[in-house]
Structure 1
Amino acid sequence: MAEAAQAVWKSIQDFSDEVRELQGTDSVPYLDGPPPALKFYREWLCPNRPCIIRNAFTHWPALHKWTFEYLRAHVGSKTVSVAVTPNGYADAVYRDRFVMPEERNMHFTHFLDIVEKKTKPPGVFYIQKQCSNLTEEFPELMGDVESHIPWMSEALGKTPDAVNFWLGESAAVTSLHKDHYENLYCVISGEKRFILHPPTDRPFIPYEMYQPATYEVHEDGSFQVVDHESAEKVPWIPLDPLDPDLSLYPEYKRTRPLHCTVRAGEMLFLPSLWFHHVRQSHGCVAVNYWYDMEYDIRYHYFQLLESLTKAVGRV
């Protein structure tokens, strides 16, 4: 059995190397404007390849309107949902827990005061709620962007499941994970720094099971991790690609992560099932569109790869 498992593991390694070689996934290419829908479907969506698209939303008023002064005037003191953590890591492994942020309802003007460093309460603050928070919490801003990306909607034959608004401090970090969405990530101001792994790197990216928990902030500003005692454990990636512990996760050295920076006015196409880790400049403003992936043969191939990885004891 051990010999068979080794043979399967060698085949998995060869498969990953071959896909990387044939698909050319050693860098993230740039496109000068979005291609026609059919061309985008053929050359990027179907091959599941990321790209950065310039001049894709130059017509959006948000690009020149969304200063902090404008956001204060148009969103004002309404209450919005803000993620608060002690260290900038929301939805991430902390010690032996998968810890989610405190979701704090606060006045938007108070949040901007924090980002502009006019006040400094304990913690790291980030507007990152992903349940289409742009349409749900910031409808005042929808006239400055599009409700969907027309050429992407045409390529997929559907509109996005969610349109999300992102704004926060530079200490806010998104831990390595994947999503079941075709993601168009549009940076309005500042920049986002991505570390990307193709789905075929899954055998070399560790998952472990963690008790879910949430940060709670006390009146004195200290943070406490509170378990969700009745919740089942959840799988998450413990590895930090900024400082991977190769003594614990030696297989990770087989990966060749892609590093890219998405600047103001640029759009990243992040294909479904790609692993990504995200940092940002301070006060970066972004909008992203989540289109549900097609659960076609690509999804089943990924599930097969994951099953084989688990079967040979590589998680």
Structure 2
Amino acid sequence: MSHQSRSGAKRRKIAVGDDPLLRAFLNQYAGCAVPDHGNPPQIDRVRYASLDADAFETKYVLGRRPVILTDALSDESDLAGANMWTNAFLRDACGGDASTSRVESRDEGANERFGRGKYKSMTFDAFMDKYEARDGGWYLSAGGKAEPFAAPGRLLASETAKSSKGKLPLRPKGVPRSLVPADVNLWMGRNSTSTSSGLHHDYHDNLYVLVRGEKTFKVFSPRDAGRMYTTGKICWVHENGLINYKGASTLQDGDVALATGESALEFRLRKARGDEDEDEPAIGSSDDDFADFDGVDDYDELNQTPEPSDDDSAEEEKRKDDDDEEDPPSFSRIDYDRLDEFPLFKTASAMEFTVKAGEALYLPTGWFHDVSSRDAGEGHVAFNYWFHPPPLGEAWEGRRALWEEDFQRSVLPKFQ
């Protein structure tokens, strides 16, 4: 698949019908989409040990194409350390009195789902007590962390693979270097019945390694973003699938654009290098401004829809009436029991597949997904890598190089 630069990309205005909560927006997505033929559409499946990083980059990273990686925890895999993750091992590796985390909570009896920003602080050991008691009201996820690469995920990764010690590599060997790590996370939970994550998208490329349990995904490409009835107002879909919402000034690789014309990443690197002209950036350009993020992915807070203007107040009141608790802007408002109220959604192309224990899923940024979990009585455990979404076209090498420099300066020291 060829990829055009931003200046040469075909610009498409997506018609969104008469729904006042959806507005026409610019969709420049240049990656693959769910095929509108086939019965049903099938996701690619590739054995992890046979991955060639260059081929992976060409077909899946540049193509923005999801893929399931099979046998990801086989003995020859650099991810095999996860085979050691018994409950006792995880307690030993991640527990202790100082292991306080913010854990998601829900009312399991009321079939409440996770991902709505309800947290409680507890130690990892306290969470494991609930996990081993099969309490489905608690979920260890990426939400609520104080900073990227925090515990417990950081405690299970190393700069190089150390499978004999139960560690996973910070950069899996099958993943091309063009994908620069943005975070790593441990996910754990219990459920007595199949549970749904809610339809949403992330702001990073995701490599999701499933250690226990089973996950069924229903996915839609960024090309169908205008049919997803998102909580936030979409204003831009970039070539690589990154989705911007009203009020968020975000570049194609997810970085924050400052009013000065410089990006937050460029400003941070300039300070680290000791360059001149170190003016303070605008509000919202520092990672610290978004540290206490809420939701599934750590760019949710960055892309929160701002306070409504007078013109938007009536619309905002209607949305508040529809939902007692407002989801992040990246979540869909679709109710599967009332699909007649969401006619555009009926025209979207979906692909469904199941990821089983020992497999991994690569899902590019902007792909909407609803995930149903089954734990087969043992709970579900997963480890995921978030990578900065690579910009396509003429921005590719320059922006990738900046993220790589930042990774070397600010991330690697945490693992040494």
1:294 CA displacement: 2.2
Are 2:113 and 1:89 aligned? yes
Q: What is the TM-score of this pair, normalised by structure 1?
A: 0.69
Structure 1 residues 173, 61: CA separation in 2 closer, same or farther (over 3 Å shift)? same
- Alignment of 1:261 with 2:284, yes or no, is no
Structure 2 SS opposite 1:293: coil
Spell out the pairing of 1:211-230 with structure 2 (5 A cutoff). none
2:381 to 270, 273, 285: 285
Q: Distance in 1 between matches of 2:342 and 2:55?
A: 39
Equivalent residues of 1:197, 1:257 under 8 A apart: yes
**Could you say what the CA RMSD is over the residues aligned between the two structures, in angstroms?**
3.6
The correspondence of residues 156-167 of structure 1 with structure 2, limited to 5 A, is 156=178, 158-167=179-188
SS of 2:169 mapped into structure 1: coil
C-alpha distance in 1 between matches for 2:15 and 2:84: 55
Cα gap change, 1:208 to 1:85, in 2 (>3 Å): same
Work out which of the residue numbers 106, 115, 118 in structure 2 matches 1:101: 118
Q: Which residue identity lines up with residue 237 of structure 1 in the other structure? A: S
Match of 1:237 among 317, 332, 337: 332
Q: 2:90 aligns with which of 45, 67, 71?
A: 71
Whether the 8 Å CA contact 1:132–1:163 is kept in 2: the answer is no
| More divergent stretch after superposition (182-191 vs 80-89) | 80-89
Distance, in Å, in 2 between the alignment partners of 1:271 and 1:244 is 28
Check 1:35–1:273 CA distance in 2 against 1; reply closer, same or farther (3 A cut).
same
TM score, norm. by length of structure 2: 0.54
Q: Secondary structure at the match of 1:245?
A: helix
Hey, what's the Cα distance between the residues in 2 that align with 1:22 and 1:253?
13
Q: Letter of the aligned partner of 1:296 in structure 2? A: L
CA distance in 1, matches of 2:14, 2:128: 56
Q: Verify: 1:246 aligned to 2:346, yes or no.
A: no
Q: For residues 86-145 of structure 1, give each alpha carbon's deviation from its aligned partner in whole angstroms, at most 9, with x where no partner exists.
A: 244233xxxxxxx4212x111222212222226x5xx72101125598941124422521
* Alpha-carbon distance change, 284 to 149 in structure 1, aligned in 2, over 3 angstroms: same
Contact 2:149 2:184 survives alignment (8 Å): yes
Name the amino acid aligned to 1:55: D
Q: Quick one: distance in 2 between partners of 1:180 and 1:113?
A: 32
Larger deviation, residues 160-169 vs 231-240? 231-240
1:191 touches 1:264 (CA, 8 Å); kept in 2? yes
Q: Does the 8 A contact of 1:84 with 1:126 survive in 2?
A: yes
What's the offset of the Cα at 1:298? 11
Partners of 1:298 and 1:48 lie apart in 2 by: 16
C-alpha distance 278-181 of structure 1, shift in aligned 2 (>3 A): same
Q: CA deviation at 1:180?
A: 2.5
Verify the 8 A CA contact 1:63 1:265 in the aligned structure 2. no
Secondary structure class of the residue paired with 2:156: helix
Q: Give me the whole-angstrom Cα distance separating, in 2, the residues matched to 1:259 and 1:140.
A: 33
SS at match of 1:238: coil
Q: Percent identity?
A: 25
> Relative to structure 1, is the Cα distance of residues 259 and 21 closer, same or farther in structure 2, using a 3 angstrom cutoff?
closer
* CA-CA distance at 1:248 after TM superposition: 0.9
Q: Using the TM superposition, give the Cα deviation of residue 231 of structure 1 relative to its aligned residue in structure 2, in angstroms.
A: 6.4
1:10-159 residue pairs with structure 2 within 5 A?
20-21=34-35, 26-33=41-48, 34-58=50-74, 59=77, 60-77=79-96, 78-86=99-107, 87-91=111-115, 99-102=116-119, 104-117=120-133, 124-130=137-143, 135-138=149-152, 139-142=154-157, 144-154=167-177, 156=178, 158-159=179-180
Q: For 1:43, give the aligned amino acid.
A: K
Cα distance between partner residues in 1 of 2:367 and 2:190: 25
Q: How many residues align?
A: 257
Give the CA deviation at 1:253. 1.4
* Mapped partners of 1:105, 1:193: distance in 2: 29
> Residues 164 and 288 of structure 1 are in contact (CA less than 8 Å); yes or no, is this contact kept in structure 2?
yes
Amino acid at match of 1:169: R
Q: Any idea what SS the aligned residue of 1:82 has? A: strand
Distance (whole Å) between structure 2 residues aligned to residue 173 and residue 108 of structure 1: 24
Q: Counterpart of 2:224?
A: 201
Gap change, CA 1:114 and 1:35, over 3 Å in 2? same
* Structure in which a larger fraction of residues adopt strand: 1
Give the 3-state SS of the residue equivalent to 1:246 in structure 2: helix
Contact 1:134 1:165 in 2 (8 A): no
- With over 3 angstroms needed to count, the CA separation of the structure-2 counterparts of 1:266 and 1:134, relative to structure 1, is farther
Residues 248-285 of structure 1, C-alpha deviations (whole Å, 9 max, x = no match): 10221112321111111111010121111122223211
Aligned partners of 1:82 and 1:129 also within 8 Å: no
Counterparts in 2 of 1:293 and 1:132: CA distance versus 1, 3 Å: farther
Aligned residue for 2:210, secondary structure, equals strand
Contact 1:88 1:125 in 2 (8 A): no
C-alpha separation in 2, matches of 1:187 and 1:256: 25
Change (3 A) 1:288 1:80: same
How far apart are residue 297 of structure 1 and its match? 5.6
Q: Of residues 369, 375, 386 in structure 2, which corresponds to 1:276? A: 369
2:93 counterpart letter in structure 1: H
When residues 23 and 113 of structure 1 are mapped into structure 2, their CA distance, relative to the original with a 3 A threshold, is same
* Paired letter, 1:26: P
